[in-house]
Chain A
Amino acid sequence: MTRIDAKFADLRAQGRKAFVAYVMAGDPDYDKSREIILGLPGAGVDVIELGMPFTDPMADGETIQLAGQRALEGGQTLAKTLQIARDLRSTDNTTPIVMMGYYNPIYSRGVDRFLAEAKEAGIDGLIVVDLPPEEDDELCIPAQKMALNFIRLATPTTDDARLPKVLTNTSGFVYYVSITGITGAANAEATNVGPEVARIKAQTDLPIIVGFGIKTPEAAEAIASVADGAVVGSAIVAEIAAGKSVAEVLAFVKSLADGAHRA
């Protein structure tokens, strides 16, 4: 059982929905992002999505693109991102950390080396946007062998016929992308999302977490009420981009977490 499985078992026992927060490692700089990330569990975050910056984030909107650019300009590397995870683990051994990003930086480092380092740093799962089930041999299968969860995105274009393929090697939870589009774009609508979650639940027992297009505590509550939890990314990243202090960013995160937890 990974920390992710344990966390969801715990939430389920308490009848609570999960709040998942995405933050880009190294944005706006290493020290500040480290401080924000280490403060996330205290702000009510159940699962941390640790963004790995990439020069060509083809599934991300402007907010997260720019966050990645700031991080890279500040000298963020995969090694430094892993270091933030390690630092968090020295104060918190229960909050799951899922690394989210694109394949090339991992491939460049070497899959085996990366997985060993991620495991050692206390990473629990991976979301790699440009690795669909068709490419499972690349990273998904090796990650499962190391007992790291490989979390897959399901989308509105993943029809019932394709869903089993998407679910086959997925573990931890399923990330349902609420819109066809990029991060930070359209608003997710609970009325559309509810039936989609039910459609996926018919084929899996894994928790279904919904992300993309959730920007306010109210939206987090509405979406979490029709799923097992909600993810917010761009809205948090936008606060960081606006130059808010660590305390202000964490207060905003807490308001989102409270929203999701009201559901």
Chain B
Amino acid sequence: MPEDLINSFMTGPDENGRFGDFGGRFVSETLMPLILSLEAEYEHAKTDESFWAEMDFLWKHYVGRPSPLYHAERLTEHLGGAKVYMKRDELNHTGAHKINNVLGQIILARRMGKTRIIAETGAGQHGVATATVCAKFGLKCVVYMGAHDVERQAPNVFRMRLLGAEVIPVTSGRGTLKDAMNDALRDWVTNVRDTFYCIGTVAGPHPYPAMVRDFQAIIGKETKEQMMEAEGRLPDTIIAAIGGGSNAMGLFFPFLDDKTVNIIGVEAGGKGVNEKMEHCASLTGGRPGVLHGNRTYLLQDDDGQILEGFSISAGLDYPGIGPEHSWLHEIGRAKYVSITDVEALEAFQLCCALEGIIPALEPSHALAHVMKIAPTLPSDHIICMNMCGRGDKDIFTVAKHLGFDMKI
């Protein structure tokens, strides 16, 4: 549908969990009844004031929301163009946006009487957030993490264990985030009666993409209010990095109907978006397919076999993308670009040096795109990027790439 024929971009998904042709419920029969009961529970919670009152209380007192909206003055000056703001979700408890969503899902799980929580994790941020909230509520927590990621995100593995979670290194397939998600789904099918699957991004079968988006939308809601306060108007451009797409959907969603706001999602370009597939840019380098319960753009070969992505950032290393992004891409409401490992590393260092903020490698991708476009824009153009995570977890990876010996 042409963009100007749509009244609102905020009404999706439809009753079948579709955003246009994307989304859906592509799961085995064993899981279908659970997904339907989760949907019913969420539909009820959505309009239940006591649910949101509990969320608001914990967001404020446990997570530390609202996160600041910060004018990056030296970066703005250095780039010499657009005025750059950062939404500081890296200041949240546990260091990333992931906990916004985890709180919502765990409160739902408690309402449903589930006693065991499982999660998949890539960078480990979603795993840490889940382990954290489970510790707070005394719930059993099991986190599936690709064996390769266990190695490159070792500090987060230890954090999860300190928080009482069981971390299961996944060796099936190629031992990455998508395989961790497969094993989490296998666990769920096996333990359907007592287990709640807390998905970390806007992917999976309906209602997950919509539910996770709604929990993350606090990012965009706050940004809107804070920007009105700081500038008396909306930003011209908003930018976020995309793994599965939850921090991006969270920032974008409240702005979808504000037609003057340019929306840009940044995928991980790895070594460059080429035919060798050494990247994770599902929209730029993939085509529609069905994986992990939904139809969306995927990295796949000619025979419909899923390909591994490649990125320096474990949190972006996923061959798919949330279905709502696929839809926004096809209707043209949002634009999607890619940033390479090298560009992200440069942005990482610049942010440390100019702003005193050590960003995670994921938002470093968003920042790298800001660095590309800000110099070409006038000084009254306002850009807001989502600083969705802090870089503590990444310093070992970055040190390796910069040739710095971390052994003390």
Q: What residues make up the interface of A, taking CB atoms closer than 8 Å to B? A: 54-62, 65, 69, 72, 77-78, 102-109, 129-135, 152-159, 162, 166, 177, 180-182, 185
Contact = CB atoms under 8 A, between A and B. Distances in A.
A153 B182 contact: no
Contacts of A55: 173, 305-306
Nearest to A105: B304
10 nearest A-B pairs in the assembled complex, by CB-CB distance:
A108-B304, A105-B304, A181-B190, A155-B30, A130-B26, A58-B185, A55-B306, A104-B304, A132-B32, A153-B29
Interface in B28-52: 28-34
A2 B357 CA distance: 67
B246 interface: no
B305 A131 contact: no
A154 B28 CA distance: 10
B192 A180 contact: yes
Contact of A62 (B172, B179, B191, B302): B172
Contacts of A158: 29, 32-33
Q: Please report whether the interface of chain A is mostly helix, strand, loop or mixed according to DSSP.
A: loop
Contacts of A129: 28
B32 A134 contact: yes
A180 B30 contact: yes
Given A104-B289, A104-B290, A135-B25, A54 B30 contact: no
Q: Please report whether the interface of chain B is mostly helix, strand, loop or mixed according to DSSP.
A: mixed
Given A157-B31, A182-B190, 7 more contacts: A59-B186, A104-B291, A104-B306, A106-B304, A108-B304, A132-B29, A177-B29
A61 B186 contact: yes
Interface residues of B, number: 37
Most buried by B among A56, A61, A72: A56
B28 A65 contact: no
B183 to A, nearest CB: 9
B189 A180 contact: yes
Nearest to B182: A58
Given A56-B173, A134-B16, A177-B30, A157 B25 contact: no
A82 to B, nearest CB: 12
B156 interface: no
A253 B167 CA distance: 38
B282 to A, nearest CB: 14
A154 B178 CA distance: 26
A72 B305 contact: yes
A112 to B, nearest CB: 15
B140 interface: no
24 contacts: A56-B182, A59-B28, A59-B30, A59-B189, A102-B290, A104-B298, A104-B300, A105-B305, A108-B302, A109-B303, A109-B304, A130-B26, A130-B28, A131-B26, A132-B25, A132-B32, A134-B24, A135-B24, A135-B25, A153-B29, A157-B29, A162-B32, A166-B29, A181-B189
A56 B290 CA distance: 11
Nearest to A129: B28
B285 to A, nearest CB: 15
A78 B178 contact: no
